[in-house]
Structure 1
Amino acid sequence: MQASGWIRGLVLGAVSALGGAALIGGVGSLLGGVALARRAVTPTVVPESPVTVTRVVERPGGAALVGLRGADADLPGRYSFIFDGGGGHARLGAVVEALEDEVLRELVSVDRGSLAAETRGRVTGWWYTDPEQLGYRVERTVYATELGDADAWIIRPRIPRRRRWAVHVHGRGALPEETLRGVRALARCGITSLVISYRNDPGAPPGLRGRYGVGFSESRDVDAAIAAARHRGAERVTLFGWSMGGTACLVAATRGEHRDLVDGLILDSPAVDWDALLRYHAAAQSAPAAIAGLGIELLARGAVAGGEAGGIPIADLHPETFARSLAVPVLIHASRDDTFVPSAGAERLAQLRPDLVQLRMQPGAEHVKLWNVDQRGWEAVTRAFARALPRPPWRGSPAARR
C-alpha cells in the first residue's frame, strides 16, 4: 500500500470504528502524529532568533558588555552569537550581571556585522566560524556521496601522525562550523581532520524528498567520508559526532561498509535513543503519548516521508541495538542539564557496554554546549581518549567484522 493510501486507510478505519466526538478525536490524533513525524525530519529553513540585544556598553580600558534577553542568554560559559540571518557573528564571554529583564555578558569580539539594540539572533556553542581560525593548514575540498559531491574541509595538524584521520559530523539543523571545537583537540594528537557537510546542508545535495533520516540516512554520507579519507591514505579513522551527527557516527561504525577503518568514536550530546527522544519532544509540546507513538509509527512505515525510502528504522536507533554491534571504544560527553537531547540514552549505552564506552558527564551544560562550559576539561579528556585508541586489529578486512 502506498504511504498516502495507508494514511487514508487509517482515516477510513477511524470513520468506521468511531462516531461523533470520538471520530474527531481520532482524526485529530492522526493529524497530530503526522505533524510530529514531519517536524522530526524536515530541515529548518530559517533558524530561530530567540535572543534580543538590549544594549551594548563600551567600557574604557576594558571589554565591552552586551545586554541580552531571551532563551539561552544566561548560560554559563562562552558562546557565539549569530545574527543577521547568519551574516553577523560575535563572541560572548562570561555573564557579568543578571538583571531582572536582561543579562549582561562580556563582549569578546564582533567578527562580522554590527551589534546594536534590538538586534536579534541566537546563542550557539560554535565559537569558531571558519576553519582557518584554528591556525592550521586548511584545504577546501569535496567528497563523493551516493547523492553527489558534498563540501568538506581537510584540516592538517602541525605534526601529523602517519595515516591517522578523523571525520567530524555536525548535528541536526547546524553547520560544519559546529564541529570545529573538536578539531583542535585532535590536531594536538596529530590527527588530520575531515570536516564534512552532509545531505540537506547548504554545501551538499538534498536528501530524499529534502528530508532528514534522523542519522540513519546521513550515516551513509559518514561512511562515504571514511572512504574519502581512506582514498587519501588513512589507515584508521576516528568518528566525531555531535547530536544527530552522533547517531550517524554510531550507525556508520556498526553498519557502514567502511567500518573496518574506524578505531573509535567521540560523541557530544548524541541522540542514542530516537524513540525516547521523539516522545520527549512530543511531551514537551503537551502532546498525548498516543500521538507520539503514532508519529513514530508513521516514520517507521514511511507513511510520513522522511529521508529513508521505505521508512526510518527508529527501533534500530536505540541503545540496546547499538550496544550489540559496538566493536570499538566510545567516548561520550553528555549532560543531565541537556534539555534538547536527554542524556538517558547515552547513559544507558554506557551501562550496557562498560567495556567500550567511557561516559563524561558535564553538569550545568546545555545541548552541544559542554565545551563552552569547561573547555579545558572537555579537551583534556578528548585528547587522552584519542591518544589511547588502539589500532583496529581488523584493518583492511571488512569481512573480519561480520
Structure 2
Amino acid sequence: MASVKWWAASAVLALVVVAAGAGAWYGSDQSIKVVHYGTGNAQVLAVQGGTVTLARTLQTAAPGTYWLEWSGAHTMLGDVVSETPGRVTREVLRGPVPSAGTPGHFGNVPPGDPKVAWGIDYTEIMVPTELGPAPAWYVPGDGTTWVVAVHGQNGRRKAELKILPVVHELGLPFLAITYRNDEGAPPSHDGLLHLGDAEWRDLEAALRHATTMGAQRFILYGTSMGGQIVGQLLGRSPLATLVDRVIMDAPMIDVRMTAEQGARNAGLPAFVAGPAGLVTEWRTGVDTDRLSLIRHPPRVRPPLLLIHTVPDTEHPIQEAYDLVTTGARLGWPIRFEPFERGGHTEAWNVDRARYDRLVRDFLSGRSGARSGG
C-alpha cells in the first residue's frame, strides 16, 4: 500500500512539473514568438445612411474612433450610436461604406500606408541594419529634427500613423521604421523577439541612416514594446545624445510586470511569470531584469510624454506609475497623462482631440514635462 501511495504521489508531482513546464513555455511564447496577424474579425450586418451595423464583439462595441478594412478598402468609424442584442451600430466618419454581408477587420490602427490612411505623400526607404535592409516610411518635412516612430510587439508600422497628421501639420520629418522579424524586414538569428534587447540596434541603424539624409536631432515615439526599444536605445546607444524628446504610449516599461499581467490574462497565477521568464531567458539569452526602465533607467533621459490608458490589460498602468516615481527620484522630466478609458494603445482612439493636443503641444515645445498625473 505504501508503494502505491508513493507511486501515486510521484505521478501527481510529475504532472505538476509537466504542467508548470508547459505553462512556462506557453508564457514565454506570448513574449517572444513572432506572429504575423491576418484579417477577419468583423461582419457587416447592415448599412443605413451614415451608419454601419456590425456583429457585436468586445472590439466592435468599444467606444471611440476605429477602422474597418475589407477587400482593399477601409472606412473610419466613430462612436457607437445604438446597440441591440448581438449588433452594434457605429457612425461612418470618412471613407466608402461596405455592403451588408461584407467580412472585414475591425481595428484600432490606421489602414495601409501614410497615403492610404491620411492622404499624405511618403517615400519608402531601406534602412541598412546589421541583419540586412529593413523598410521604413519617410514623410519629408522642414528642419533637421525628425520624429522617428517604433511600433510594438508583433505589430506593424501603420500603428504609428496615428500621430502623423499632427507631425505633418507641424512640418516635422517623420520616419516609421520596421525592425527584425517584421514583415519585409530581416529575421533575427533565432527567429524570436528579444523584447527590445536586440531590436534597439535596428532603431539605432534607422537614426544613423537618417543622419545621412540630413537629420541632426530626434524625437522618438514608441508604442507598447516600441517604448522598451526606445528605452534601450537611450540607455545603450551613443546616438542617444541626439534625442531631444520622447513620447511613449502604453510602453512595456518592466518585462516582469508585463509577464505577470499576461499570466493573469490567461487565468494563471502571477507567479507563473517567474518560470516563464526563466524559459524566455534560456531561449533568447536576454536578461529580462535588465529590461526594466524602473530598476534600470536609461543613461540619457530627455523629457518624456508618457501616455497610458487606465484599463490597459496588456501593460498594466502600474508600470507607468512606477516609472513616474523613478523619474521624480532622478529628476527625469516626465509628463504623465493617464486616459480613463480604452484598451492597450487606445488612448488616441477613445479621445483623439486630447491625444492630438498633448502631442502637438509636446512636439512644439508649448508643454513642459512634469512628473505626476
TM norm structure 1: 0.82
Superposed counterparts of 1:24-35, under 5 Å: 24-35=15-26
Q: Shift of residue 197 of structure 1?
A: 1.4
The alignment status of 1:106 with 2:91, answered yes or no, reads yes
1:266-325 alpha-carbon deviations (Å, 9 max, x no partner)? 11111111101111111221223443210101112x2x3x4xxxx122101213234363
Equivalent position amino acid for 1:70 in 2: T
Aligned: 1:371 with 2:336: no
Do residues 388 (structure 1) and 365 (structure 2) align? yes
Counterparts of 1:308-347 in structure 2, within 5 Å, are: 311-323=285-297, 325-347=299-321
Equivalent in the alignment of 2:46: 56
Q: CA deviation at 1:332?
A: 1.0
Q: 1:189 aligns with which of 170, 185, 190?
A: 170
Which residue matches 1:400? none
1:96 is aligned, of 81, 102, 106, to: 81
> What amino acid sits opposite 2:118 in the alignment?
L
- Inter-CA distance 27–65: structure 2 relative to 1 (3 Å threshold): closer
The amino acid that maps onto 2:187 is P
State whether residues 52 and 70 of structure 1, in contact with CA within 8 Å, keep that contact through their aligned partners in structure 2. no
Structure 1 segment 199-278 matched on structure 2, within 5 A: 199-278=180-259
Residues 92 and 282 (structure 1), Cα distance of their counterparts in 2 relative to 1, 3 Å cut: same
Once residues 250 and 344 of structure 2 are traced to their aligned partners in structure 1, the CA distance between those partners, rounded to angstroms, is 6
CA distance change for structure 1 residues 283 and 73 in 2, over 3 Å: closer, same or farther? same
Separation in 2, partners of 1:264, 1:313:
27
Show the counterpart of 1:43: 34
Match of 1:21 among 12, 15, 18: 12
Question: Which ranges of structure 1 fall in alignment gaps of 5 or more residues?
Answer: 1-17, 391-402
User: How far 1:46 sits from its partner (Å)?
Assistant: 3.5
Q: 1:156 Cα shift?
A: 1.7
Which AA in structure 1 matches 2:311? D
Can you list the C-alpha shifts for 1:203-258, whole angstroms capped at 9, x where unaligned? 21112322211222211111111111112121101111111111111111221232
Distance in 1 (alpha carbons) for counterparts of 2:166 and 2:40: 30
* Root mean square deviation of aligned Cα: 2.3
Identity of aligned residues (%): 26
Please tell me whether residue 353 in structure 1 is matched to residue 327 in structure 2: yes
Query: For residues 120-139 of structure 1, what are the structure 2 equivalents within 5 Å?
Result: 120-121=104-105, 123-132=106-115, 133-139=117-123
Q: Secondary structure at the match of 1:353?
A: helix
Are the equivalent residues in 2 in contact too, given 1:124–1:369 (CA < 8 A)?
A: no
Gaps (5+ residues) in structure 2?
Answer: 1-8, 368-373
Distance in 2 between residues matched to 1:362 and 1:290, nearest whole Å: 29
Which secondary structure does the structure 2 equivalent of 1:19 belong to? Answer: helix
**Match status 1:82 vs 2:65:** no
Contact 1:329 1:389 in 2 (8 A): no
Counterpart pick for 1:151 among 120, 135, 145: 135
SS in 2 for 1:152: strand
CA contact (8 A) 2:231 2:298 kept: no
Distance 2:110 2:91 in 1: 14
Contact 1:197/1:204 (<8 A) preserved: yes
Q: Which AA in structure 2 matches 1:130?
A: D
Equivalent residues, number = 355
* 8 A contact 1:58–1:65 mirrored in 2: yes
Contact 1:83/1:119 (CA < 8 Å) preserved in 2? yes
Deviations 1:62-110 (A, max 9, x none): x1322232131111111012356xx453321211102222211123455
- Partners of 2:112 and 2:41 lie apart in 1 by 20
> Shift in Å at residue 193 of structure 1?
0.8
Q: Shift of residue 366 of structure 1?
A: 1.5
